[in-house]
Amino acid sequence: MTDDLLRFDDKVVLITGASRGIGRACAQLFAARGAQVAVHYGQNEAAAQATLDSLDGDDHLLAQADVGDPAAVERMVAAVVDHYGRIDVLVNNAGILTTHPLPEVGYAEWQRHWRETINVNLIGAANVLYCVAHQMIKQGSGGHIVGISSRTAFKGKPDSPAYVASKAGLNAMSQSLAQALGPHHIYITLVAPGAVETDMSRAALDSPAGAAMRAQSPLNRVATAEDVAHTVLFLASPQAAFLTGTIVDVNGASYLRT
């Protein structure tokens, strides 16, 4: 496929969790291919503004919402539609990761981690998808939704079981809705990265454990945010429509599913 086929001129792309990391890389790549990008953020307005300032083109938009608040999600999607008149692509990326090893945390803390993680990573993602999908149905021209899952949904992460469960739930929910929304020409896919080199992972990668993290892949490195973003870009393109319902691993062969 030639590079010029992956253009998104006149397309509106909403990316949740776009203030840094994978979300920022996706925003930059879509903008470079002609899209108008709505940069969602939860709390870090300065980082979101930095993302916005880094984008090629113009008429991009900041979109603030606590994804864990259903009313805020609805207002955010409505604001994007009010500004652009439509949404063509959703990158369902916003999420949180906490550590809560069962033998070490109290019952109240355990409940808090589960409640907060599921509320953002699964219920919040479902609410964003709901609001955007209804807008896509109203438009009548379909659209693409790409969810950001995780290798851990298949491999596990012993100290972060709520995160793993939320990503496994995101997979199941998104695949079910790929079946439900296919007749409306709304195509839903997921990307499941392994370790990714971002601000959040920098400390671990720079620690003594970093070498072992890189060695999980025969390429002896972890993914870059751009590795993930290029996969998202393709999955959001018309050429990927028949991949709807698919989960694409971006983990450098560090974990192989059969």
Burial 127-154 (b: 16+ CB within 10 A, else e): bbbebbbebbbeeeebbbbbbbbbbbbb
Main-chain phi, psi angles of 205, to 5 degrees: -70, -30
**Which among 69, 73, 88 has a CA at the least distance from the CA of 16?**
73
Q: How far separated are the first and last CA of the chain, in Å rounded?
A: 27
Active site residue 150: yes
What's the gap between Cα 108 and its chain centre?
Answer: 29
* Residue of 41, 160, 167, 237 with catalytic role: 167
Q: Which amino acid is at 108?
A: A
Reduced to 3 states (helix: H, G, I; strand: E, B; else coil), residue 67 is coil
Long-range contacts of the stretch 74-78 (C-beta < 8 A, 24+):
74/127, 74/131, 76/40, 77/14, 77/128, 77/131, 77/132, 77/135, 78/131
The H or E element containing residue 250 is strand 247-250
CA distances from 78 to 14, 58, 86, 131, 189 (A): 12, 20, 10, 8, 23
200, containing H or E segment:
none
Catalytic residue among 11, 19, 41, 150: 150
| Catalytic residue of the set 160, 163, 187, 237 | 163
Structure tokens at 95: 């999420």
Q: Which residues are catalytic?
A: 150, 163, 167
